[in-house]
């Protein structure tokens, strides 16, 4: 049994860890910690968790094997280092850290302590995303000519007071949803080069991008047009389009496949060659927990490994620089 301790008593801790853990054999949330222990107590009482306290109480709990950092990325490095030094494995809520330098330091600390550190790109473990990556790599599209990604949150979701609009907490659209796009590009095509980027910044904190549009180049010279935004329309967007010489692919709900993801491959003459929908009931957070349980048991490689997550953050940093903004 892998005992999980959570740092951070926000909504993501419940959705991404407490709820899915109850359906995954071999894992159990055994403690919750918050800066304010009373907040942790309320969280524990509501969700019937066995222990609560401040962050240090979780790190010192001998039942905790894996610490989940449900915290702003700007503090991930500090608490990941503390958890690793305490002999715990670490799962950081995405992105791994505030920038590529601190992300790499987390990965290096895991190696030095003999523990493992992961980044919570849960979508990568969903069967739909494996189908998406397999389709892109199958050759059915022919020679890839263009990749377009639009990950836009509806405009009414991220409002003043939201931590995603706080530059002190490493807020911004690329940090929040653009990191998913970078991770997916690297998984499907290899390392991208950032060519140009433009950002629309938040009037109350110009360090924060409300929307960033970037042009990247993939190995082989394939162009990418990427949008990460808090200014989406009422429906928002989570789609990826890949245009090839023989066919085009459109995938929807990519960040959270359990929200009705679909994949359609259409030939150049309009024939539908493949149509796939995400399996009803499959949950990416549960798949992530199953994956972590298994790789911690057998020591096998992980697509969530911190060294890989650090590579994603280096591309995020490059996008911000290209847009005239400082990396977080």
Active site residues: 94
Pairing of strands 222-232, 205-218: antiparallel
What Å distances lie between residue 232 and 78, 214, 217, 240, 266, CA to CA? 33, 16, 24, 15, 26
Tokens of 57: 């109480």
Show Cβ contacts of residue 37 under 8 Å, excluding neighbours closer than 6 positions. Answer: 52, 53, 54, 57
CA–CA dist 167, 163 (Å, integer): 8
Euclidean distance between the first and the last CA atom of the chain, given in angstroms as a whole number:
36
Residue 170's SS3 state is: coil
Residue 65's SS3 state is: coil
CA–CA dist 267, 158 (Å, integer): 38
CA–CA dist 186, 32 (Å, integer): 33
CA–CA dist 321, 194 (Å, integer): 9
Instruction: Name the residue among 123, 82, 75 with its Cα closest to residue 99.
Output: 75
What Å distances lie between residue 162 and 25, 98, 158, 228, 293, CA to CA? 34, 17, 6, 17, 32
CA–CA dist 73, 213 (Å, integer): 22
């Amino acid at each position: 049994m892998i005992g999980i301790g959570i740092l951070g008593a926000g909504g993501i801790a419940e959705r991404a860890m407490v709820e899915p853990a109850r359906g995954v054999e071999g894992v159990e949330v055994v403690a919750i910690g918050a800066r304010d222990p009373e907040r942790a107590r309320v969280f524990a009482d509501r969700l019937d968790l066995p222990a609560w306290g401040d962050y240090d109480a979780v790190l010192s709990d001998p039942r905790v094997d894996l610490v989940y950092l449900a915290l702003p990325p700007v503090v991930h490095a500090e608490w990941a280092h503390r958890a690793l030094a305490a002999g715990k494995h670490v799962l950081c809520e995405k992105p791994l850290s505030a920038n590529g330098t601190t992300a790499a330091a987390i990965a290096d600390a895991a190696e030095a302590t003999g523990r493992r550190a992961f980044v919570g790109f849960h979508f990568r473990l969903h069967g739909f995303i494996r189908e998406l990556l397999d389709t892109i790599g199958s050759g059915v599209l022919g020679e890839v000519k263009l990749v377009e990604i639009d990950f836009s949150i509806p405009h009414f979701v991220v409002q003043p007071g939201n931590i995603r609009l706080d530059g002190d907490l490493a807020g911004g659209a690329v940090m929040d949803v653009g990191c998913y796009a970078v991770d997916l590009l690297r998984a499907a095509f290899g390392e991208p080069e950032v060519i140009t980027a433009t950002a629309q910044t938040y009037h109350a904190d110009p360090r924060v991008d409300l929307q960033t549009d970037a042009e990247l180049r993939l190995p082989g010279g394939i162009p990418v047009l990427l949008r990460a935004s808090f200014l989406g329309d009422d429906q928002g967007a989570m789609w990826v389009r890949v245009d090839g010489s023989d066919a085009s692919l459109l995938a929807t709900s990519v960040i959270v496949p359990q929200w009705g993801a679909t994949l359609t491959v259409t030939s150049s003459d309009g024939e539908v060659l493949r149509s796939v929908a995400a399996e009803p009931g499959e949950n990416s957070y549960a798949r992530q927990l199953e994956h972590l349980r298994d790789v911690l048991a057998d020591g096998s490689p992980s697509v969530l490994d911190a060294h890989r997550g650090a590579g994603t953050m280096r591309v995020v940093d490059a996008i911000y620089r290209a847009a005239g903004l400082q990396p977080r």
